[in-house]
Structure 1
Amino acid sequence: MKKTVLVLLGLLLVFSALAIAQGYETMPADAKIIPLGQADTPYADAQPGVRGGIFYCATISNPKKWNDVTAHETSTTQYTGLMLEGLISTNPVTVAIEPELAKSWDVSEDGLTITFHLRQGLKWSDGEPFTADDVIFSFNDLYLNEDVETDTRDILVLPDDSYPVVTKIDDYTVQVTTSVVFRPILNSMGANILPKHALAQYVHKLNPDVPVGTFNSAWGLDTDPSELVGMGPFIVESYTPDQNVIMRRNPYYYHYDPNGVQLPYFDKYVVLTVASQDVSLLKFRNGELDALGIRAADVPILKSEEAQKDFTVLVNPDLPNYGTSWIGINEDIGLAEGTHDNERALFRTRDFRAALAHLVDKQAIIDSLFNGLAVPQWSPVSYLSPFYAGRDYYGGPVTEKDAVIFEYSLDKAAELLDGIGIVDRDGDGWRDYEDGTRVEIELNTNAGNTVREGVCLIVADRAAKIGLKLNFVPVDFNTLVNKLFASTGELIVLGLTGGPEPNNGANVYKSDGGLHFWHYSAADNPTEVEKKIDELLNAGVSTLDNDKAFEIYKEYQITLAKDDLGLVYTVNSAFTYAYYNKLGNGNLSSPVATPGGGGLADICYFK
């Protein structure tokens, strides 16, 4: 009995933050003022608010860790994105790059050197000063340190395979130099800055007595929240598995409204962990959540309750969300274990991947799962990006003139499978490998995501019509992510976040990228198609001319969609969101930023 008591006490100590800093006595001279309600600014349709209250939203996954540097998954970054800030940020209304921890920067005439001028007088959430040392630590000791597992390093690789050189000029000035032209350098330097005073102890490079790789397990879920430090609007206060994450206002956040009120407005930001999207919807309808990213299928019922329950449902059928949704085909299945020879050979066959693409009944998915509020997807670049190949030129209108279309066709899928010898050999109605073994493929997605579950059911149903057996097995999100990165999943339905800049996907689509999860072995032995994609991605960052870059990225998108097919894309939902009208500035919600998804959390308030 005594042991049980000790364990429970330990959990309470681990999952509750014990110390809270006091905050600024006066507004820092270099504070960032958000011009809420001011004409001729992106925030003209917003209003200054009042402080107080607890904001509630929901997710269907527990966090995996608190370490933003090593994170692959949104179950982590949805929290670290609120805890941390970068040198630059993206305006939540215009998507334009703007100053963040850096108050300004200068670019040399040749474009090879950027000098960042940091905001002075800022403090981390624990009261320690923010300086250039934190920036140098974040880039040189974390992101560019080969001992640290991070996807960010992939988007910092220059075309000549070197990295930017980050140098401290003084306590509030940092210089970044590149050996060659690197068009998205500003975007890439927006990676979150980490506190040196809190994390240097875990870095072998700075502490030779610390084992190599120690940082990779730092800030795990077993970390006392009082040890978590950030520059963002909220800091983790407590975590209760399968129940909630409670975040408290950062007393040293440096954003202020035009009236001199320190942001964020909310006292606390609470994310409830629920079993499914259906539960999230129920909780929103019951008033237990203040805002919700809704499914397109939820729109009719919410619209019918909108006036009565005093909330707003935002629907923009012409504005797809950023990001991509896809079926990942693991070409390395069983490679490390010496198993799954049949499956691996099949998955590495381009015509099998093309057959699967023909089995994705996109119109049925759009009609039955999205209530018509989605568009077919084919490209790794987000539909909203000015570099999207569905446009005729950089930033032009979407015409889809050059779209790579694998139309839904059972006949074409069957013909492709027949052509590679995947046929029914024993007359039982199911296709077999050449050795007579039935083809049975496991299809996974994250349990509780009813839309993705629906996609899996539709694809499995269509495959069954031509004798291809796909066994749908939903699993926990973090378990699914582990399968993805351990190359133990076969077919996985998931999605990736996205944005305007194609190079932000370099960690996924380059053959040696940390998230090239469908073919990790390509890092040592890329296919000819993968080599071409690598070359195109390098070429796209090597010009400062966006029009030239657009043509390069168009070829990249077409090549990946037509010839690689490691990911078979599905559909992209239109922007749909709901919030209670008591929530001030919820009207700014967009595919870029929402109150519950980040970007607006610091400026929303209760009326």
Structure 2
Amino acid sequence: MSYYKLLKIKIYTLMRHRWLVVLLTLITAMSTMGFAYAIIIYHQINLQIKVTPISQIVVTFPTEPTTFNPALILESADILSFTYEGLVKENSRGEIKPNLAKSWQISQDNKQVIYTLRKGLKWSDGKPITAEDVVFTYNEIYRNPDIPTYAKDFFLIGKNRTFPTVQKLDDLRVKFTLPEPFAPFIRATKLEILPAHIFEETVKIKDQEGRPKFMSTWGTDTPPENIIVNGPYTIESYTPSQRIVFRKNPYYWHKDAQGNSQPYIERVIGQIIPNQDTSLIQFRSGGLDYINVNTDYFSLLKHEEAKGKFTIYNGGLFIGSTALTFNLNKGSRNSQPLVDPIKSRWFNQAEFRQAIAYGIDRQQILNNIYKGLGKLQNSPIAVQSKYYFPIQAGLKVYEYNLQKAKELLLKVGFKYNNQGQLLDEQGNIVRFSLMTNTNNNILQSMGVIIKQNLSDLGITVDFNPVATSIFINKLTQTFDWECQLLDVAAAQEPNDWSNVWLPEAGWHFFNQASQAGQTPIMGRQIADWEQKIGDLYIQAASEPDEAKRKAMYAETQQITQEYLPFIYLVNPLSMVAVKNRMQGIQHSALIGTFWNSYDFKLTED
């Protein structure tokens, strides 16, 4: 048993029997030395057993983790903000700053980058962080074809999708050699560095199914002390469906201007609360120090801001959007089509998707659900980005217009029966399932409006909210869904979400390819427009001329709005409420609240 655990047991035992010990001591002292002297002894004992309170904050996580392996995390990615860091880091303005690497040098031909690590970096087990860890992370994990990590897609460069070569120069220097110039490369190296001394054997050993042992390493049943990190906090404990507790990493490198060790706050408790209403109740009752501000709650929380001793931080428009997407995959698995062929024919008609876009009253959604706190979204690229192609320049938009929607449907062979139901050319009633996350109140409310809007088009929508785990599993594993209502990213740097747009990438949700270790999909087809978007993303990433990059990304936005793989809906304001006792908050719509958790301090209420 560790010294720390033993100390906790001793303190707990002492506190549990505190009054018994004091009473026995007091009685003994009174019988031998007199009452007054006994009182002095009592106060001495009372002082000795006082325990200094640990500084801590309580936050909320909306989803349950399925792994603590940083290369494999999809759900509960917020964990990574506390536990892992990369070579570089984004600040609240989206600017790239040194992190584990103190500096980097780029060659004149933009094909070589040499990073220099900070001296004295350590993992949470005290082992040094060296160039060996960087080389291992990129060569053995991110580059490994048998490990389906999301990170891989960001480093496959050019038409040949070539991974950079990564070479150790010495203990503190690493050289990346790129097959061709790659404009977003430095930003991409913000991805997490993993410990070679922990994982090096796991990538070599295969299980019975031929998968690297790495894939099952650091599951949620792994003892927290075995999870080695390089971020500001370690994982102290995990209680399924309840909480994740983080403890200050004693080996974390970051220090303030006075040389004081950071983070300042000793412990972060992440309560797992899938339901937003429950989070609100706990925040208002003092059980949470932080909450995302759902627009349904904004007026209530704003009214209580002073009395409740908290501050609402508005980071501007969220770096993302809500969107509707149809499953365009024409493939089959185990001889079973992923999507009913009849419905697949509807979904794969651009005019059908355009009619759906015209048939959704986005302004009603913005007014009724978001209380006007946001804007309509029309692009996969964030409005904050220099690559955003504005409406004024000719970006196509879909304003609510039932007449135009019906004209489009009739034009491509749909028709209406006497009851006003929409039928396809073969007389099939147009009906499909719309799925969303049951733990997201906003999406559920939005689904109700969309269902009603489309019923005005004669379309029957079976609205089906499901648990988060089912929602994510269908989107990333089974692919057996028809239509999804979800939150999607809208990137400031387009390449940050290239894995959504490249046809073979891991997050190409609307027409997903099978990934490493998954049952193959047979008969999947890629549309010309779909391939064109992917090609443009590859070309733009390798183009050093900024004007040409902008033109390429402008073309991708025109294509996405013409063919609508995602029907973008509303981009809300990014708002959080934080108790005033937490200082150092620099909430950003671009990067969130906890990007600088090492700077947070606690003050007296």
TM-score, normalisation: structure 1: 0.85
Q: Report the Cα offset of residue 132 of structure 1.
A: 0.8
| Larger CA Rg, structure 1 vs 2 | 2
1:193 partner letter: I
Rounded to whole Å, the distance in 2 between the matches of 1:550 and 1:57 is: 39
1:76 equivalenced with 2:76 (yes/no): yes
Native 8 Å contact 1:58 1:280 kept in 2: yes
What does 1:190-205 align with in structure 2 at a 5 Å threshold? 190-204=190-204
Partner of 2:598: 602
2:406 partner letter: A
Native 8 Å contact 2:423 2:430 kept in 1: yes
Rounded to whole Å, the distance in 1 between the matches of 2:375 and 2:142 is: 36
1:519 partner letter: N
Native 8 Å contact 1:293 1:577 kept in 2: yes
Q: Report the Cα offset of residue 101 of structure 1.
A: 0.9
What does 1:451-490 align with in structure 2 at a 5 Å threshold? 451-485=442-476, 486-490=478-482
Partner of 1:178: 178
What does 1:135-534 align with in structure 2 at a 5 Å threshold? 135-161=134-160, 162-204=162-204, 211-315=210-314, 319-332=316-329, 335-336=332-333, 337-338=336-337, 340-390=340-390, 400-425=392-417, 427-485=418-476, 486-521=478-513, 525-534=525-534
Native 8 Å contact 1:181 1:542 kept in 2: yes
1:606 partner letter: L
Rounded to whole Å, the distance in 1 between the matches of 2:267 and 2:308 is: 24
Native 8 Å contact 1:83 1:233 kept in 2: yes
2:373 partner letter: L
Q: Report the Cα offset of residue 209 of structure 1.
A: 10
Q: Report the Cα offset of residue 335 of structure 1.
A: 3.0
What does 1:86-101 align with in structure 2 at a 5 Å threshold? 86-92=86-92, 94-101=93-100
Which sections of structure 2, spanning at least 5 residues, go unmatched?
Answer: 8-52, 515-520
Rounded to whole Å, the distance in 1 between the matches of 2:532 and 2:382 is: 21
Rounded to whole Å, the distance in 2 between the matches of 1:85 and 1:288 is: 29
Q: Secondary structure at the match of 2:332?
A: coil
Rounded to whole Å, the distance in 2 between the matches of 1:311 and 1:296 is: 17
Number of residues paired by the alignment? Answer: 544
Q: What do the CA deviations read for 1:468-510 (whole angstroms, capped 9, x no partner)?
A: 0111111111210111122112111112345421011111011
Q: Report the Cα offset of residue 118 of structure 1.
A: 0.9
Rounded to whole Å, the distance in 1 between the matches of 2:388 and 2:79 is: 29
**Distance change >3 Å, CA 475–CA 409, structure 1 → 2:** same
Rounded to whole Å, the distance in 1 between the matches of 2:226 and 2:513 is: 37
**Distance change >3 Å, CA 207–CA 467, structure 1 → 2:** closer
**Distance change >3 Å, CA 216–CA 356, structure 1 → 2:** farther
Partner of 1:395: none
Rounded to whole Å, the distance in 1 between the matches of 2:66 and 2:512 is: 22
**Distance change >3 Å, CA 235–CA 176, structure 1 → 2:** same
1:507 partner letter: N
Partner of 1:33: none
Partner of 2:60: 58
Runs (4+) off by over 6 Å: 17-20, 206-210
**Distance change >3 Å, CA 498–CA 380, structure 1 → 2:** closer
Q: Report the Cα offset of residue 284 of structure 1.
A: 1.4
Native 8 Å contact 1:592 1:599 kept in 2: no
Q: Report the Cα offset of residue 400 of structure 1.
A: 4.2
Question: Which piece of structure 1 moves more, 481-490 or 139-148?
Answer: 481-490
Q: Secondary structure at the match of 1:239?
A: strand
Q: Secondary structure at the match of 1:57?
A: strand
Rounded to whole Å, the distance in 2 between the matches of 1:210 and 1:473 is: 34
Native 8 Å contact 1:155 1:504 kept in 2: yes
Q: Secondary structure at the match of 1:548?
A: helix
Q: What do the CA deviations read for 1:543-588 (whole angstroms, capped 9, x no partner)?
A: 222222111111111111213x1111111011222111111112x2
Rounded to whole Å, the distance in 2 between the matches of 1:18 and 1:172 is: 35
**Distance change >3 Å, CA 104–CA 127, structure 1 → 2:** same
**Distance change >3 Å, CA 489–CA 19, structure 1 → 2:** farther
Partner of 2:559: 559
Identity of aligned residues (%): 30
Q: Secondary structure at the match of 2:393?
A: coil
Native 8 Å contact 1:334 1:488 kept in 2: no
Q: Report the Cα offset of residue 594 of structure 1.
A: 4.3
2:442 partner letter: V
The counterpart of 2:590, out of the listed 589, 592, 606, is 592
Rounded to whole Å, the distance in 2 between the matches of 1:19 and 1:184 is: 49
Q: What do the CA deviations read for 1:388-425 (whole angstroms, capped 9, x no partner)?
A: 112xxxxxxxx643332011112222222233333344
Q: What do the CA deviations read for 1:331-356 (whole angstroms, capped 9, x no partner)?
A: 12773213611111111111111112
**Distance change >3 Å, CA 409–CA 82, structure 1 → 2:** same
The Cα RMSD (Å) is: 2.5
Native 8 Å contact 1:18 1:226 kept in 2: no
Q: Secondary structure at the match of 2:597?
A: coil
